Amino acid sequence: MSRASAPGARVELICVGSELLGGKTNTHQSYISLALARFGLSLSRESSLPDDLEPLKSAIAEAFSRADALIVCGGLGPTFDDITREAAAAALGRPLVFKPELFAQIKRRFQRFRTRMPAENRRQAYLISGASALKNNFGSAPGQMLVTRGADTGKPRMLVLLPGPFAELSPMFERDVLPRLKRLYARGVFSRALSVHLAGMTESAADERLKILTRRHRPGEAFTILAGRGQVDFHAAATAPSAAQAAKRITGIRRLIRRAVGEHVFGEGETTLESAVGALLRRRRLTLASAESCTAGFFSGRVTAAPGSSDYFKGGVIAYSNELKMKMLGVSTETLRRRGAVSAECAREMAEGARRATGASIGLSITGIAGPSGGTKTKPVGLVYIGLAGPGAACSVWESRFLGSRHTVRERAAAAALYRLWRMLSQR
């Protein structure tokens, strides 16, 4: 969800790919929106189109006729359904021109990886007449940029074609596209951006508490709130006539965010929940071990995604069976018989067992029912217990209920466990 009041040029986005209309999540819109906000620009329209020449040609022609800048993502590959080049050229009434030097670059890429180049890749060496190529350091599909002048206004109009894979699109967009957009459409505008990350609350709860910002509708401010991987990201951008004024506005926004949801803020910018946890463990010279049942390594995977996690993470046990819970973690037969593997008592003994078996300062456990089957009336699918055994305190256990698929339950349980660990460490 996005709320923005930042003025600027009309920038439109078209995302190409039949998969986008078949259920695949489109992450390009949120990324590009946030990147534009850093320069006081915003998207005025976004649309997703299938790999179909005529509809795409019409959409590009219509968008380019009304937009100051049009960004088209996807469809620059070598295969039969990659038709963005052809559609854009037809929409603008310009021919595609073969560029031998571009073809040579594409061939060298295949040679560097000692791979035979398919004949179809020759298509990627064609540019719209008048366009310049945008170098792709991470793939074979070069981007394209065309800047023209409006016949009636004389104002610059930009068309950009970008590859679909995010790892190829984002470096190209940051290096080549954003600076040009700023020069053409945001000269004299100073902007500052802020990304704040929250855990332990839903997107709707965060939205409700942050309405002091999102509903005040001040010119030059833009806000976006997004949820994913068990956390909520709140993005803010402020523009002003000077850098000092923009910085002052962001400082004020940060202060209001902290006042509204400060107890849930684990970091800003590039900080992840796992890196925030790691920093606290390292600062306090504590170590961690895990015991996972229903998450089957999801938690340990996130912990070790943080660089340098070997400094504080001793290891983890994936104890799916009751036999392993007893042998490796010391869960009692009586607990399993009377309470079951999915219980607060079992979570407590698993956490204490992980700590005892590894010598770690902290033991964390997760046990539950990820589904889609296995639930009962008293213990439904999505029921999860998280145990946390630390030095100098009794083991704490939390009961949670997560909705969604098996994967979603596992992912949310791992995120909730990270949040509980972060809360414990941040309050020490």
What's 8-185's CATH class? alpha beta
Look up residue 165 and give its two tokens: 């894979």
Contact partners, residue 32, CB within 8 Å, separation at least 6: 13, 43, 71, 73, 173
What is the pTM assigned to this prediction?
0.76
- Residues 399 and 420: beta-carbon distance below 8 Å: no
Q: Is residue 231 scored above 70 in pLDDT?
A: yes
What number is the average pLDDT over the span 328-336?
97
Domain ranges (residues) in the chain: 8-185, 190-268, 286-426
Q: What is the pLDDT of residue 21?
A: 84
- For 297, list phi and psi in degrees, rounded to 5: 100, -5
pLDDT digits (tens, 9 = 90+) for 186-219: 887 888 889 999 999 999 999 999 999 999 888 8
CA dist 8 → 153, 215, 223, 247 (Å)? 17, 20, 15, 19
What number is the average pLDDT over the span 21-39?
84
pLDDT digits (tens, 9 = 90+) for 124-157: 999 999 999 999 999 999 999 999 987 777 789 9
Q: What is the pLDDT of residue 186?
A: 86
Which CATH number is associated with domain 286-426?
3.90.950.20
Residue 64 class from Cβ within 10 Å (0-12 exposed, 13-18 middle, 19+ buried)?
buried
> Yes or no: is domain 190-268 CATH 3.30.530.20?
no
Rounded Cα gap, residues 381 and 378, in angstroms: 10
Q: Is residue 351 scored above 50 in pLDDT?
A: yes
- Residues 161 and 85: beta-carbon distance below 8 Å: yes
What number is the average pLDDT over the span 366-386?
96
Look up residue 72 and give its two tokens: 């088209």
Rounded Cα gap, residues 216 and 239, in angstroms: 16
Q: Which of 138, 47, 51, 56 is nearest to 89 (CA)?
A: 56
Q: What is the mean pLDDT of the chain?
A: 93
Q: What is the pLDDT of residue 8?
A: 59
- Residues 200 and 423: beta-carbon distance below 8 Å: yes
| In the chain, % of residues over pLDDT 70 | 98
Sheet containing strand 132-134, strands side by side: 42-49, 10-16, 69-73, 156-162, 143-149, 132-134
pLDDT digits (tens, 9 = 90+) for 380-422: 999 999 999 998 878 999 999 999 999 999 999 999 999 999 9
Rounded Cα gap, residues 395 and 405, in angstroms: 29
What number is the average pLDDT over the span 355-368?
97
Q: What is the pLDDT of residue 6?
A: 38
Q: What is the pLDDT of residue 152?
A: 74
